């Protein structure tokens, strides 16, 4: 569009706006160029064209500024804190203080946040602020007006269009109770039914918070959407930076050389043991009877772990991304790996009949599994076989196949012999012995759920776990003896308040627990042994589990309560856990195995790294659980209206939390469906008790329930109670057991009818 007669051309208007101090409106532009009357309509069209082309920027209140300029007041996110505690911010993607769109094409300008004592100390990466911006050199200085409440910066949901009301995003997170409004032109090309990621804006429309679609993940009906929801809702990085991929692709196999630091263990028949669907094999094992006559009945064992430290040096693009991810995350249909597949599934995978670099530990055990000595090596191995758990167990049980038959006597039976010794040491040590069933989601070729059932637990799994635990303990002991920094895996004693609640619950079952005794795993094991075989077994098991502290990573050692070990570190899975990579580097430095060991800078930030990877581990666990819940909801959706036997696994003023007996699915029986009485919460007995009838629903009780709703979007299952006299209750497998009237010990609550990892455990403790 050329300028109408009497109007300045675009270049002149752009020059005026760019050179102006701050933003200018049409009135100032018209006055500067002497534009009057109807010509102002033409001026408005030119300004719109310039703004649409990105030549100038739109400010607030129909004002204009140079392209890429920020408004005087904006919502910012703290993006970085440097070593001098200087805060750097970036404009919020998707909107300024009014929720208007920001220009995302250009890189964000440099913004330094000026802080005061009252706000600066409390600000960290990810915090959002409303700030006043002042141009400073090529960037801006930002003065904090106020710190904005924490809330989701992004939302994952399904794009929908409501006739006459515009577009919506229906969130997948059940904690987000309302939809988000999407302005025209802010849908990112999404179509009805698409799963999307959207930036949450500041403005509101039609009573809803606004959002802008930034990524379309695909059709919600696609079976792959379930894992994508969990990945994006929990901010798990799933795309590797090009630099990290380039480093992984450029890596080459380690070649054994004479006179180097590596020992040659290729003559020993180490094997890997994994699940049938595993693709990365990061540990190999070997065992043989000890030939020392002074150690009758003893064993020699080797645990060899992929030498990831060789391929992932500190400060590399691979290292930065591995640290950012912290760990791999496992879903029924995919793995989000910590390392690119060129390493995780190739050079760092201990594939059969291929030379592979490892960090290995050789251990000598006595007949009772006590470790007499151990030594770490940097070595080269050549795996003799890749065996799956089921085949290993079948061979030991007398049914070998073509693969396991030839190595049964020389390789497999010695593994079980050494495991027997380790189990004798375990029995003497008395670690916490909880029964923690794990659900296995099996997908068909079409990606849909074929089956969900508890994962089979074999002795073969325990063989591998005990070998790994012993290697992890040896790593921690070695680093402590060498006075090397170590990221320990620590597990604190249970909190006293939780133990008080546990004691009250156990007392209601006539099981005693004395708070006067120092907490020890064996005390909990005695309680579990007493409850074994009773109706309360599962409830007691869950209650003891909930009383425990959460394991974490820490450079300060406090021991591992659950394993009953004074020192413990994760060494055995550096392909999928950054903590293990740090332990490898520390062992390399302590053992003098090369120049790629732990460096001084890593040591200085070890506490920060430990806290970060503890957080990423919890993030992955939440994401994996979210995905399993949604898969379960999809699996159960076709059974809406069916009756099941359920076990009460939680009591809350919201209702009863349930686990189905046959599938292990979790769901909620809301208080509104307990409409026969007004129910009160008894915290001590972990029960809901009817105010009039005394009917009691207690933790661990089995009841018959009907599935009312299976929400595949949020993964929620809602049940209603099937009464004892209902004909449909006869169809519930196992038969329900109903609570008995009881009136004692009731504490009034606010509830009532009116209230509206796929994969093996591998010593993950």
Integer Rg of the chain from CA? 31
Does 214 share its domain with 182?
A: yes
Q: 43: domain CATH number?
A: 1.10.10
Indicate if the pLDDT at residue 292 is higher than 80.
yes
Q: Strands, DSSP E only, in 84-207?
A: 87-91, 111-114, 128-136, 139-147, 154-162, 166-171, 180-182, 194-205
Say if residues 559 and 576 touch (Cβ distance below 8 Å).
no
Residue 350 and residue 424 in one domain:
yes
- 3-state secondary structure string across 530-598: HHCCCCCHHHHHHHHHHHCCCCEEECCCCCECCCCECCCECCCCCCCEHHHHHHHHHHHHHHCCCCCCC
Assess whether pLDDT exceeds 70 at residue 222: yes
Q: Is 230 domain-assigned?
A: no
Sign of CA dihedral 366, 371, 375, 376: positive
Please state the rounded mean pLDDT for residues 411-428: 98
Q: Which of 147, 166, 184 is the last residue of a domain?
A: 147
Higher pLDDT, 753 or 412: 412
Whether 591 shows a pLDDT value over 90: the answer reads: yes
Instruction: Please indicate, yes or no, if residue 472 is contained in any of the structural domains.
Output: yes
**Which pairing describes strands 371-382 and 385-388: parallel, antiparallel, or unpaired?**
unpaired
Q: Which neighbouring-strand residues pair with 210?
A: 181
What confidence category does residue 22 fall into, taking pLDDT thresholds of 50, 70 and 90? low
In the predicted structure, residue 98 carries a pLDDT above the cut 70 = no
Contacts for 19 with CB less than 8 Å, ≥ 6 apart: none
Tally the domains of the chain: 6
Residues 657-673 pLDDT 10s: 999 988 888 999 999 88
Task: Based on the fold, state whether residues 592 and 644 are members of the same structural domain.
Answer: no
Q: What is the pLDDT of residue 739?
A: 35
The residue with tokens 């595949």 is 712
Query: For position 210, which CATH number holds?
Result: 2.40.50.700
Q: What is the pLDDT of residue 100?
A: 33
248 and 355 in a single domain? The answer is yes
- Average pLDDT of span 589-596: 96
For the segment 186-201, the average pLDDT, to the nearest whole number, is 91
CATH classification at residue 100:
2.40.50
Q: CB of 312 within 8 A of CB of 581?
A: yes
Kindly state the percentage of the chain with pLDDT values over 90. Answer: 52
User: What range does the domain containing 87 cover?
Assistant: 73-147
Going from the C-alpha of 276 to that of each of 280, 338, 391, 458, 758, the distances in angstroms are 11, 21, 10, 14, 12
pTM of the model: 0.76
CB 148 within 8 A of CB 130: yes
Q: Domain ends where: 167, 187, 222?
A: 222
CATH code, domain with 656: 2.40.50.140
Mean pLDDT of the chain: 85
The 8-class DSSP code of residue 677 comes to: S
pLDDT of residue 65: 63
* pLDDT of 589 strictly over 80: yes
Residue 237 lies in a domain: no
Closest CA to 295 of 222, 391, 369: 369
634 is a domain residue: no
Confidence at residue 741, expressed as pLDDT on a 0 to 100 scale: 33
Is the Cβ–Cβ distance between 302 and 285 less than 8 Å?
Answer: yes
Q: Are residues 644 and 706 in the same domain?
A: yes
Last-in-domain residue among 119, 147, 175: 147
- Model confidence at 462, pLDDT cuts 50, 70, 90, reads very high
pLDDT at 69: 65
How much is the pLDDT for 262? 94
Judge if 462 and 610 occupy the same domain.
Answer: yes
The residue that leads in pLDDT, 79 or 416, is 416
Structure tokens at 162: 């409501």
Q: Write down the pLDDT at residue 645.
A: 93
End-to-end CA distance of the chain: 68
pLDDT digits (tens, 9 = 90+) for 30-75: 888 888 777 777 787 788 777 765 566 665 556 666 555 677 788 8
> Has residue 633 been placed in a domain?
no
Residue 207 within a domain = yes
Q: Do both 387 and 298 map to the same domain?
A: yes
Q: For 522-566, how does the pLDDT look when each residue is reduced to its tens digit (9 = 90+)?
A: 999 999 999 988 888 888 988 899 899 999 999 999 999 999 999
Torsion of the alpha carbons at 564, 568, 572 and 576, rounded to the nearest 10: 100
Mark whether 57 and 105 lie in a shared domain.
no
713, pLDDT greater than 90: no
Residue 316 lies inside a defined structural domain of this protein = yes
Structure tokens that stand for 681 in this block = 């919460």
Higher pLDDT, 670 or 150: 670
∠ Cα 749 175 648 (to 5°): 50
Q: Are residues 469 and 544 in the same domain?
A: no
Whether residues 420 and 279 share a domain: the answer is yes
Claim to verify: residue 254 and residue 336 sit in the same structural domain: yes
Q: Above pLDDT 70, what percent of the chain?
A: 87
Length of the chain equals 765
Is the pLDDT at 305 greater than 70? The verdict is: yes
**Residue bearing tokens 């049914």:** 399
Torsion of CA 213, 218, 220, 222, to 10 degrees: -170
* Maximum average pLDDT range among 14-28, 131-145, 296-310, 688-702: 296-310
Inside any domain, residue 762 = yes
Same domain, 138 and 166: no
What local confidence, expressed as pLDDT, does residue 57 receive? 61
């Amino acid at each position: 569009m050329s300028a109408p007669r009497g109007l300045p051309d675009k270049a002149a208007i752009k020059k005026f706006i760019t050179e102006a101090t701050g933003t200018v409106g049409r009135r100032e532009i018209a006055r500067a160029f002497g534009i009057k009357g109807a010509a102002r309509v033409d001026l408005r069209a030119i300004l719109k064209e310039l703004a649409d082309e990105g030549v100038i920027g739109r400010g607030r209140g129909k004002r204009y500024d140079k392209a890429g300029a920020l408004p005087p007041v904006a919502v910012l996110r703290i993006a970085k804190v440097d070593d001098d505690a200087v805060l750097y911010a970036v404009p919020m993607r998707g909107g300024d203080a009014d929720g208007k769109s920001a220009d995302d094409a250009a890189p964000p300008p440099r913004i330094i946040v000026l802080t005061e004592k009252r706000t600066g100390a409390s600000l960290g990466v990810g915090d959002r602020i409303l700030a006043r911006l002042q141009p400073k050199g090529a960037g801006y200085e930002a003065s904090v007006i106020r710190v904005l409440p924490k809330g989701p910066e992004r939302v994952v949901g399904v794009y929908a269009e409501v006739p006459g009301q515009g577009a919506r995003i229906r969130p997948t997170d059940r904690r987000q109770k309302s939809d988000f409004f999407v302005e025209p032109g802010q849908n990112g090309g999404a179509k009805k039914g698409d799963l999307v990621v959207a930036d949450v804006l500041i403005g509101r429309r039609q009573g809803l918070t606004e959002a802008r679609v930034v990524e379309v993940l695909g059709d919600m009906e696609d079976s792959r959407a379930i894992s994508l929801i969990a990945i994006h809702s929990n901010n798990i990085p799933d795309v590797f930076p090009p630099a990290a991929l380039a480093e992984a692709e450029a890596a080459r196999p380690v070649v054994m050389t004479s006179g180097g630091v590596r020992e040659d263990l290729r003559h020993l028949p180490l094997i890997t043991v994994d699940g049938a669907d595993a693709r990365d094999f990061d540990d190999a094992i070997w065992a043989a009877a000890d030939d020392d006559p002074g150690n009758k009945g003893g064993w020699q064992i080797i645990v060899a772990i992929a030498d990831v430290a060789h391929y992932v040096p500190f400060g590399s693009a691979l290292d930065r991304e591995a640290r950012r991810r912290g760990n791999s995350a496992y879903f029924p249909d995919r793995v989000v790996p910590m390392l690119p597949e060129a390493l995780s599934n190739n050079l760092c995978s201990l594939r059969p009949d291929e030379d592979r670099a490892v960090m290995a530990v050789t251990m000598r055990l006595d007949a009772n599994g006590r470790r007499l000595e151990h030594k770490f090596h940097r070595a080269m191995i050549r795996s003799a076989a890749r065996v799956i758990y089921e085949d290993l167990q079948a061979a030991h049980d007398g049914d070998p196949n073509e693969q396991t038959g030839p190595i049964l006597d020389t390789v497999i039976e010695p593994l079980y012999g050494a495991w027997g010794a380790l189990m004798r040491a375990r029995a003497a040590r008395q670690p916490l012995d909880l029964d923690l069933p794990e659900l296995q989601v099996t997908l068909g070729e079409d990606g849909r759920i074929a089956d969900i059932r508890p994962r089979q637990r074999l002795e073969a799994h325990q063989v591998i776990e005990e070998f790994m635990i012993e290697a992890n303990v040896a790593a921690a002991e070695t680093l402590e003896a060498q006075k090397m920094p170590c990221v320990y895996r620590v597990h604190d004693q249970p909190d006293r308040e939780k133990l008080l609640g546990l004691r009250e619950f156990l007392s209601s079952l006539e099981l005693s627990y004395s708070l006067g005794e120092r907490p020890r795993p064996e005390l909990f094991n005695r309680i579990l042994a007493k409850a074994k075989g009773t109706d309360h077994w599962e409830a007691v098991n869950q209650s003891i589990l909930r009383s425990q502290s959460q394991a974490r990573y820490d450079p300060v050692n406090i021991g591992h309560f659950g394993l009953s070990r004074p020192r413990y570190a994760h060494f055995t899975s550096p392909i999928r856990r950054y903590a293990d990579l740090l332990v490898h580097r520390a062992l390399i430095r302590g053992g003098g195995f090369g120049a790629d060991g732990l460096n001084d800078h890593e040591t200085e930030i070890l506490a920060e790294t430990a806290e970060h990877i503890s957080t990423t581990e919890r993030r992955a666990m939440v994401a994996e659980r979210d995905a399993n819940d949604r898969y379960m909801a999809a699996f159960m959706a076709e059974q809406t209206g069916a009756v099941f036997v359920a076990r009460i696994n939680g009591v809350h003023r919201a209702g009863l939390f349930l686990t189905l007996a046959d599938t292990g699915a979790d769901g909620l029986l809301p208080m509104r469906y307990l409409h026969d009485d007004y129910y009160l919460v008894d915290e001590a007995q972990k029960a809901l008790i009817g105010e009039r009838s005394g009917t009691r629903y207690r933790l661990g009780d089995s009841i018959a329930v009907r599935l009312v709703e299976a929400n595949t979007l949020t993964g929620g299952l809602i049940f209603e109670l099937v009464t004892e006299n209902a004909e449909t209750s006869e169809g519930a497998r196992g038969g329900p057991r109903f609570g008995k009237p009881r009136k004692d010990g009731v504490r009034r609550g606010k509830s009532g009818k009116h209230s509206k990892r796929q994969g093996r455990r591998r010593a993950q403790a």
